[in-house]
Structure 1
Amino acid sequence: MSDIELAEVESFALDHTKVKAPYVRKIGVEHGPKGDAISNYDIRFVQPNHGEIPTAGLHTIEHTLAGLIRTRFDGLIDFSPFGCRTGFHLIAWGEPTPAEVAAAIKTSLEDLAEKVTWDDVPGTEAVSCGNYRDHSLHSAKEWAKLILEQGISLDAFDRTNIA
């Protein structure tokens, strides 16, 4: 082991073999110097180490849900994919409940699956995306349908409380 010191990252302490996706999990809340709260959520769509969303589909989900969630949920700061391609971090002002987050995710996925057309997907041109050629609306729609069929749990370890 080298002499490099790394801070502990909560996500790497999570036992990925025990979670049951899809789910919404509140990772934590940070408070700024003026008391502002920022909440971080684990939005897990795919069971870790059992599958992953292909990059093009994940990219289109990211772009589309980043816009759709903002129309349903005040205070969204960021919606960013995990490198493992099994889900997203959702970062928001304040302390929304997992149920509020799950409801916004669910209705956004419903629109993605049933209503969104290619013309609705933002950031699909070179001027608005760093890898605009790597998108798939077909893949994004199929994954949205699959996630909705499975339901989104409000508990990362128990699938009895489905939103």
Structure 2
Amino acid sequence: MADVESFTLDHTTVTAPYVRLIASEHGPGGDVISNFDLRFVQPNEGEIPTAALHTIEHLLASLLRDRIDGVIDCSPFGCRTGFHLIVWGEPTVTDIVTAVRASLRVIIEDTAFDDVPGLSAVECGNYRDHSLHGAKEWSARILEAGISLDAFERVGV
């Protein structure tokens, strides 16, 4: 089996919340795709409840695209401690942290349930499993803790 970077990361040495560049991959045509670890909860010490994570996912899918050019995907980790963010190009960790902070503030301060995209059975594969209340609570927790620019020490929080 191929090595997967996520499974080689020592999850006991990181300090969440943080944003970490996992890798930038260069394609044969010169295109670059960057993969970021948006770690919101300390691994093996907690997790975002599924309904809250699901709502954060739907909101970040739109809010991050409003703030970062070239977003390809923002998908939650199965462990529910954060997200992969995949983008065209090579934005800096600082660029991503700035966009994530602004997006979480919108979730907390400006989002009503009708603002959450993809809440019908037609648009979502598990449309009944959402919690805007939980999304707001977890977004506030993440911002209160401060999002570090480094996975291993608190930088720029």
Question: Scaled by the length of structure 2, what TM-score is found?
Answer: 0.99
Displacement of 1:161: 2.4
AA of the residue aligned to 1:92: V
Structure 1 residue 89 corresponds to structure 2 residue 84:
yes
Structure 1 or 2, whichever has the larger Rg, is: 1
Moved over 4 A (4+): none
AA of the residue aligned to 2:59: T
Give the match's secondary structure for 1:71: helix
Uncovered stretches (5+) of structure 2, i.e. residues with no partner: none
Please name the residue that 2:150 is paired with: 155
Please name the residue that 2:15 is paired with: 20
Please name the residue that 2:95 is paired with: 100
Please name the residue that 1:76 is paired with: 71
RMSD: 0.5
Identity %, equivalent residues: 68
Q: 1:115 aligns with which of 88, 106, 110?
A: 110
Alignment of structure 1 residues 117-132 onto 2, 5 Å: 117-132=112-127
Please name the residue that 1:34 is paired with: 29
Structure 1 residue 8 corresponds to structure 2 residue 13:
no
Query: What per-residue deviation string (whole Å, max 9, x for no partner) do you get for residues 51-104 of structure 1?
Result: 000000000000001100111110100000000000000000000000000100
Query: May I ask how many residue pairs the two structures share in their alignment?
Result: 157
AA of the residue aligned to 2:48: I
Uncovered stretches (5+) of structure 1, i.e. residues with no partner: 1-5
